Amino acid sequence: MADRVRKLVREEVVTYAYILLYIALSSGQIFFNKWVLSSKEINFPYPLGLTLLHMVFSSVLCFVLTKVFKIMKVEEGMTAEIYATSVVPIGATFAMTLWLGNTAYLYISVAFAQMLKAIMPVAVYILGVAAGLEIMSCRMLFTMSVISFGVLVASYGEINISWIGVVYQMGGVVGEALRLIFMEILVKRKGLKLNPISVMYYVSPCRQFSCSALCLFIPWIFLEKPKMDAQGTWSFQPLILILNSLCTFALNLSVFLVISHTSALTIRVAGVVKDWVVVLLSALLFADTKLTILNLFGYGIGNIR
């Protein structure tokens, strides 16, 4: 009995440690990306290009860890059917999330972007119910309604609102919700016992042309490459590139760790602390962030769980 209690306590400690790691990495990556994309800082206003670099870096690192150094074995069992129904959608929605979410930072402040992300549990819950991962209940419907109302109030209180940025951010929210649902299906429903590195190996564009790379590479060629050629901004600081990509890799790994120990909905609810940290710190770090009482009131309502 004592051994069982110790085991349960150990599992709880590990789970909370993963959640705290996710909060720290996610918060840091948001500020890092904003810093890189900002015209007043690094001035690399190409979210597609930055996201594509993240995916390539993660893919190469996963390949080296699993195939070259064999630090972690990639379990067998990934069939063509599972790859097509789970991994491909994860890759596509991941590309969609990063592209739209990073682009939103060009139009709206970090704080307002986080306020809009408060609607994420609603999107995850609705999609989870549709996928059979969550159970419909009056209590959850009421909670989700309160969250939605809070987001509307926070948006109404925004001083310098950009509807283009709002559209980009909401598109990123939908993409992230879909990605989390597909990840939970892959980890828990498909009969596979994949470790986080293995899932990242299959999801990221490690194998030649992955859907994630293609979903980013194709629009990048038409939307951003001509601008980069015209302005000669191909010279990106190597150290910043490596650090930013490494943070992205670590963040993706932490997401898989948390989901494998909890659920897609849990990681979004646990992200409330992270969101508040980002909102408050962004008001101190970035001049374009101006919080109002109505912003904070609405955001507070939206984060009631």
Summarize pLDDT for 46-67 with one digit per residue, the tens: 888 888 888 888 878 877 887 7
Mean pLDDT of 4-8: 75
What amino acid is encoded at 39 in this protein?
Answer: S
Range of the domain at 198: 44-302
24 part of a folded domain: no
What is the pLDDT confidence band of residue 235, given thresholds at 50, 70 and 90? low
Which residues does 55 contact at the CB level (< 8 Å), separation at least 6?
95, 98, 204, 205, 212, 213, 216
118 part of a folded domain: yes
197 part of a folded domain: yes
Is residue 33 predicted with pLDDT exceeding 60? yes
8 part of a folded domain: no
248 part of a folded domain: yes
Number of domains making up the chain = 1
Judging by beta carbons within 10 Å of its beta carbon (0-12, 13-18, 19+), is residue 99 exposed, middle or buried?
buried
pTM over cut 0.85: no
285 part of a folded domain: yes
Owner of token pair 């951003």: 224
Tell me the HSE value of 170 on the side-chain side, using a 13 A CA sphere.
Answer: 11
Closest to 287 measured CA to CA, from 17, 13, 38: 38
Give the phi and the psi of residue 222 in degrees, each rounded to 5: -90, -30
39 part of a folded domain: no
